Amino acid sequence: MSDTKIPRDALLGNLKNRYEWKAVERPHTWRPTKEGEELIGFYGGKTLRDGQFGQYEVAMIHVPHEGSFMVSGTLAIRLFDAANIGVGWPVRVVWKGYKELEGEGSDGKKKKMKQFEVFIAEGDPIAPEYLPRTTAANPPVEQ
């Protein structure tokens, strides 16, 4: 490495000009209301969120022309884990409603669990760098 110091402004300018930039939009929470509703897109991995009952995992699904969505629920996360897929894999998530569980929660209400079906496409995924763009400034690229 050279002893020559790169002026800070020049380094930042080079970085700015070197890449194509897109604005990051917050993902939406998928809230289906009718059994059979589907979310079809590309798997974006899992991330942790903070909620009123502590941390929980969500799966990110990138849907072309619609944006990124978070899918939460123990069953959905288990199914994505079982699928053993990577980022960029085509997926389809189907809402199956709620299943009532034994007992009551701390609020006195019946416990219920979200029900999903998760399908993965056979074949090859797309590379993560080709995931659909979900920003208003740069609409998704058709593949």
The mean per-residue pLDDT over the stretch 51-62 comes to 91
Per-residue pLDDT at 137: 40
Q: State yes or no: pLDDT of 143 exceeds 50.
A: no
Per-residue pLDDT at 133: 54
Phi-psi region of 12 (alpha: psi -120 to 50; beta: other; left: phi over 0): alpha
**What topology does CATH give the domain 26-124?**
OB fold (Dihydrolipoamide Acetyltransferase, E2P) (2.40.50)
Q: Cα separation of 61 and 34, whole Å?
A: 19
At 62-95, the pLDDT tens digits run 998 898 999 999 999 999 999 999 999 999 999 9
Per-residue pLDDT at 105: 74
At 89-118, the pLDDT tens digits run 999 999 999 999 888 777 778 888 999 999
Q: Where are the domains of the chain?
A: 26-124
> With a threshold of 0.85, does the pTM exceed it?
no
